[in-house]
Structure 1
Amino acid sequence: MELLSNPEIWISLVTLTVLEIVLGIDNIIFISILSGKLPENQQKKARQLGLALAMITRVLLLLSLNWVMGLTATLFNPGDWIGVSKEGLLEKMAISGRDLILIIGGLFLIYKSTSEIHEKLEGQDHQVEGGKVHSFSGVIFQILILDIVFSLDSVITAVGMADEILVMIAAVVIAVIVMMVSAGGISSFVNQHPTVKMLALSFLLLIGVSLLAEGFEQHIPKGYIYFAMAFSVLVEMLNLKMRAKSKPVQLHNSPGNADYRE
């Protein structure tokens, strides 16, 4: 009851929930694109299961805070392998468990985004890649891999913003519920508009590069990334609105023109 009556707890809960939703947008986009490869009757199930796995992963990581924070300890330093002093650049390149996860996750996201963009440009069937039909379990496995990466970043952020474990868990659960409710609409919108889908894949590629840089201790302020994404979305929304109102150009001597004469 003491927690419920503390205004600072409520402020932390609201702030952290909003932040978790913002950080979860890229997760929704990734899940929407992967689930779109499945038959229509399996897509909703894949989205809900993927987000449920994200929530479970984040809660488990929050309950293992000692282990999570231990991931920030240095595992090795490249300078040790080549007999160079750890001072300067090599000191900043010290690799921790968190760094390894971010590097692997970033490389995976870059690979998936690039292959998806290539697939769309080549015009291959959305359910076939390399002659193989996408399986439900295969899609869920890929979602799970990225859930772990996104969850690690989310949990470390939560630890830095709140002191109470119950507040962190509550924020994660509320954020995932909001994402579950909105995932269907976001998925339909992304899949129905090819240019939006290409933009979303570009976002994922950008996030993959960001994760890779973060793994090598090259910090890119997330505010810059999210501002660029928001500005791109605004421009794309204006383009969609303009295309919806525009009419195809009619040549003077085309059958569709009122002045057309045979």
Structure 2
Amino acid sequence: MELLSNQAFWIGLAQIIWINIILSGDNAVVIALAARSLEPRQQKQAIFWGTAAAVVLRVALTIVAVKLMQLPWLQLAGGVLLLWIGVQLLNDGDEDENGDEKSHSGLMAAIRTILVADLVMSLDNVIGVAAAANGNMALLVLGLAIAIPIVIFGSTLMIKIMTRYPVIVTLGAALIGWVGGETIVSDKMVEPIVPHHSFGFYAAAVLGAVLVVATGKYLQGRKASSATPA
């Protein structure tokens, strides 16, 4: 009860919720892209379990976030992984899934993609959450738990928008590429060469977005050509 009557607790909780609302946009896009090719029932399962597991991982990541950020080449490798994920997500919607086994495989693949992408994209974001929690584990867990329905709602809404406006899929993949480019140049070993918010920093983000979309469209074209009868 003393914890609940503590003004600092409520201020910290509000800060964590606000940080998660701001940072949940790109995560909702990843989840929607990963789940969009599943049937409606599995979409709900992928969104729920993917989001819940991602939040649990984010709690663990936040605890060691400061130390992880000091590891050389970690963010560079994570950024390259995000570029690959963006290309894969841009093409996943073209796959035909038939049968229970393939359907289950698609669900597990979507959840796995959500986990990996959220983990990489949260490397620098969790520092803000850790600072707001100020070492209070109850505050950290509660704040991130409240973020679950926010991300679930955002993901569900994004899937509906993507179904109605397919161009959003391309824009979503471009966003992942943008974050991937930013993550690469945010690495401890690269940041001294390409400082944050410099021209090179944003150029890397743009290059990441263009690379993901261009590669994804190229692979889509090849797939369509190979599927067309001679």
TM-score normalised by length of structure 2? 0.71
Which ranges of structure 2 fall in alignment gaps of 5 or more residues? 203-230
1:168 and 2:137 aligned: no
> Which residue in the other structure is 1:20 paired with?
20
**One-letter amino acid matched to 1:142:** T
Specify which of 113, 116, 127 is matched with residue 156 of structure 1: 127
Q: Residue by residue, what CA displacement relative to the aligned partner does 1:59-84 show, whole Å, maximum 9, x if unpaired?
A: 2334xx2x44332445xxxxxxxxxx
CA distance in 2, matches of 1:116, 1:142: 9
1:70 and 2:70 aligned: no
Q: Residue by residue, what CA displacement relative to the aligned partner does 1:183-209 show, whole Å, maximum 9, x if unpaired?
A: 212221123211222222211111111
Structure holding more helix per residue: 2
Specify which of 159, 170, 179 is matched with residue 198 of structure 1: 170
Specify which of 71, 74, 83 is matched with residue 110 of structure 1: 83
Q: Residue by residue, what CA displacement relative to the aligned partner does 1:114-146 show, whole Å, maximum 9, x if unpaired?
A: 3544x49xxx83547xxx986222222222211
CA distance in 2, matches of 1:59, 1:204: 22
Could you say what secondary structure the match of 1:135 adopts? Answer: helix
1:144 and 2:108 aligned: no
> CA 1:152/1:26 → structure 2, altered by over 3 Å: closer, same or farther?
same
> Which residue in the other structure is 1:135 paired with?
106
> CA 1:219/1:180 → structure 2, altered by over 3 Å: closer, same or farther?
farther
Per-residue deviation, 1:152: 3.3
Q: Residue by residue, what CA displacement relative to the aligned partner does 1:202-238 show, whole Å, maximum 9, x if unpaired?
A: 11111111111112324545xx98xxxxxxxxxxxxx
Q: Percent identity?
A: 26
Larger radius of gyration: 1
CA distance in 1, matches of 2:31, 2:96: 15
In the alignment of these two chains, the number of paired residues is 190
Residue pair 1:105, 1:208 contacting (<8 A) in 2 also: yes
Q: Alignment RMSD, CA only?
A: 2.8
> CA 1:127/1:214 → structure 2, altered by over 3 Å: closer, same or farther?
farther
Per-residue deviation, 1:47: 1.1
TM-score normalised by length of structure 1? 0.63
Which ranges of structure 1 fall in alignment gaps of 5 or more residues? 75-94, 226-262
Residue pair 1:46, 1:140 contacting (<8 A) in 2 also: yes
Provide runs of 4+ in structure 1 moved above 6 Å. none
Q: Residue by residue, what CA displacement relative to the aligned partner does 1:29-54 show, whole Å, maximum 9, x if unpaired?
A: 10110111223331111111110111
